[in-house]
Chains A and B, each alone.
Chain A
């Protein structure tokens, strides 16, 4: 996902830049051209360093993925060919893990987006103590993931003493064994709690950038509050929501702490990041873990390219 964030602008930007450059370069003569060429030479080392720094880990991953390398048998390291990739496909762990990632990240994304939107709309009003309310609402995003997972595990979802079960008990629902019976849900809770403030912040920025004139005009035209929100505010927020979804996915897909602390990957909570960790540090199969990584990268690039293209189509249609 991250590379698509990096890549798409660079794919788009050079296209337009290259076109203009082509004409200017052809137009340039003599000293100008020489200067331009010299400038490029000066920049080249920096560019090479940038490429090396950003791409070496990835190249190393590709290299590892073709190695037969078990941490517990370091002396048996050898070239494995496509063996690791075959293992990825035949082990049967990959697809469930992709599915778990989609469910957990997708579920948390939708929930935190909706909650974030509600909170942002509330915070967009003028009221006494708004700054305080905003600060309070942002706090979950500032808590370290491991600490958040511990809070959820012990204070909120603990079966006998947790606050959630206590609250459920008030309305006559017996204690729920969250981590045992609904492990994926506990992770979604934690992620939603953590990322709602993030969604809220971005959407709030969107709301505050909406021009008051438009809303006033809608009001004059006799639009109800709901109509204004549905037909004026929501379309305006779309770009902000897209940004929020994109960044949110990048963050959430790396989820590790709550899984390691609360469910240990049991019960459909083994996301790709956790699967990789297990293969590398519990299975000690560095080659296989790297192969999982490479396959994930390929899948994400394919998926993200399609997703982003549709998004950009929407953008351009909006612009028209």
Chain B
């Protein structure tokens, strides 16, 4: 009961302080305004790449002395709540927002974001075609661009070259999941505390279900069919979940429900897993000799498949302009600068090439210094980013754009609850079919909302 009260209090307080901070910031912005200077407010997620952007603001001001950027950093969940509230209530508090790939299509559909298609096409130097097509598709709704990608990632399989060589296995460039399961069984070594493969199994839509949904896709399953009918207990979804859980049980990490991205990164970097299927952005940390014992010993191949050609996921952080903003022109100038070809070079030469935002532009991967710094995984990342298809990642067509998530507001909840049920299956507390039947019900409730429109 105190818990309840405190949560609510906290909730109210958070809301109030948000309001205060925001109004405060806006106020200060206006106070400091010189005539002829437009102040643009940017709500950003507090990731390192965005912090770098803040550091480079003086460079932008050299080009545009008449535009002042006021950056507000928030933690991901706070940002999501604050910006959703702002755009949905037509508040117009933020002119520019960093928007995750999951929300862009939802917001685009609601016309909460400015349609950037024509703006982006206007300037030939900006070159929209230079963005990887899948990344562009991921932030489009019905062919119109509602945000521009700032950095992106896909998923691939990381493996220990030395262990594979010892075992005499040559891994194909496009392995199948069956092969991977076989290799994992061969390469696990309990006497040395080494798992065959590390796969995320920590409950959460962004943890377990990021890799697992890609497996579901390539096994021919999907969350919803074209009529928003949930498919969670369909044979293909069941097969995929069964495969994932069996592989974990046979040759995955011990205590798998504890393992999310961070835990797997730790395990793999310590040399205690022979393979790891995860984000392309993990490679930077894996190759960093100060924190990783396996730097230089890791090879990279495409995400394993079964029935599809590709199976990598797709994620990007993007810059979107509020449809209610009164400073759209100035906002666009900034968005264009931060997502331009030259921005990558600017970060590289000022802050270091490993800090260049990856995974959005082909041209970034043609910068020799960047390719050199990115080692083996950079060219592969570029290829994968170009190959995945967020409009139809699986075998069957789907009514949304996105690979490892469904772009409906309820998906966080659906994925979260289903992943908790699967955690029970991994522990043997619940049979798989009952867990998926339950997941089906949860997913169908959200699907029914979607049918209503």
* Chain A residues close to B by CB (< 8 Å): 1-3, 57-58, 60-61, 64, 70-75, 153, 157-161, 175, 177-181, 183, 250, 253-254, 256, 262-267, 270, 272-273, 276-278, 280-286, 289-290, 292-294, 296-297, 300-301
- List A contacts of B121 (CB < 8 A): none
Decide if B257 touches A179 in the complex (CB within 8 Å).
Answer: yes
Instruction: Tell which of A180, A290, A301 touches B258, judged by Cβ atoms closer than 8 Å.
Output: A180
Decide if B8 touches A265 in the complex (CB within 8 Å).
Answer: no
For A180, the closest partner residue in chain B by CB is B257
Interface flags, B262-288, vs A, CB<8A=1, else 0: 000000000010000000000000000
A159 to B429, CA, bound (A): 19
- B9, B203, B256, B427 pick with most chain A CB within 10 angstroms: B427
Decide if B8 touches A293 in the complex (CB within 8 Å).
Answer: yes
* Chain B residues close to A by CB (< 8 Å): 1-9, 11-12, 77, 81, 84-85, 88-89, 106, 193, 202-205, 207, 253-258, 272, 409-410, 412-413, 416, 419-420, 423-424, 426-429
- List A contacts of B3 (CB < 8 A): 253-254, 256, 272-273, 276, 296
Known: A250-B2, A296-B1. A181 touches B427 (CB 8 A): yes
Decide if A1 touches B1 in the complex (CB within 8 Å).
Answer: yes
Distance (Å) between the CB of A288 and the closest chain B CB?
10
Q: List 19 A-B contacts (CB under 8 A).
A: A1-B1, A61-B8, A72-B106, A159-B258, A160-B272, A180-B258, A180-B423, A183-B257, A250-B2, A264-B202, A266-B203, A266-B257, A266-B423, A276-B4, A282-B412, A284-B409, A293-B7, A296-B3, A297-B1
Distance (Å) between the CB of B259 and the closest chain A CB?
9
Decide if B11 touches A267 in the complex (CB within 8 Å).
Answer: no
Instruction: Tell which of A70, A262, A264, A273 touches B409, judged by Cβ atoms closer than 8 Å.
Output: A70
A181 to B207, CA, bound (A): 19
- List B contacts of A267 (CB < 8 A): 257, 420, 423-424, 427, 429
- List A contacts of B258 (CB < 8 A): 153, 158-159, 179-180, 262
Known: A58-B8, A61-B4, A297-B1. A263 touches B257 (CB 8 A): yes
For A252, the closest partner residue in chain B by CB is B3
Distance (Å) between the CB of B115 and the closest chain A CB?
19
A272 to B202, CA, bound (A): 20
For B194, the closest partner residue in chain A by CB is A160
- List A contacts of B423 (CB < 8 A): 180, 264, 266-267
How many pairs of A and B residues are in contact by the CB < 8 Å rule? 142
A1 to B4, CA, bound (A): 10
Decide if B5 touches A2 in the complex (CB within 8 Å).
Answer: yes
A139 to B11, CA, bound (A): 31
A75 to B112, CA, bound (A): 11
Decide if A74 touches B88 in the complex (CB within 8 Å).
Answer: yes
Decide if A75 touches B254 in the complex (CB within 8 Å).
Answer: no
Known: A264-B202, A276-B7. A160 touches B420 (CB 8 A): no
Distance (Å) between the CB of A282 and the closest chain B CB?
5
Known: A254-B6, A264-B203. A281 touches B255 (CB 8 A): no
A222 to B136, CA, bound (A): 88
Known: A60-B12, A61-B4, A159-B254. A284 touches B424 (CB 8 A): no
Decide if A281 touches B77 in the complex (CB within 8 Å).
Answer: yes
Closest 7 CB pairs of A and B: A72-B409, A266-B423, A293-B4, A159-B255, A177-B255, A2-B2, A159-B254
A175 to B254, CA, bound (A): 9
Distance (Å) between the CB of A68 and the closest chain B CB?
12
5 additional A-B pairs beyond A175-B254, A267-B420, A272-B4, beta carbons within 8 Å, are A1-B2, A60-B8, A256-B3, A273-B3, A284-B409
Decide if B2 touches A253 in the complex (CB within 8 Å).
Answer: yes
Distance (Å) between the CB of B280 and the closest chain A CB?
25
Decide if B257 touches A72 in the complex (CB within 8 Å).
Answer: no
- List B contacts of A159 (CB < 8 A): 253-255, 258
A75 to B52, CA, bound (A): 34
- A57, A153, A178 pick with most chain B CB within 10 angstroms: A57
- List B contacts of A294 (CB < 8 A): 4
Decide if B203 touches A282 in the complex (CB within 8 Å).
Answer: no
Distance (Å) between the CB of A258 and the closest chain B CB?
12
Distance (Å) between the CB of A179 and the closest chain B CB?
4
Instruction: Tell which of A73, A179, A254, A289 touches B255, judged by Cβ atoms closer than 8 Å.
Output: A179
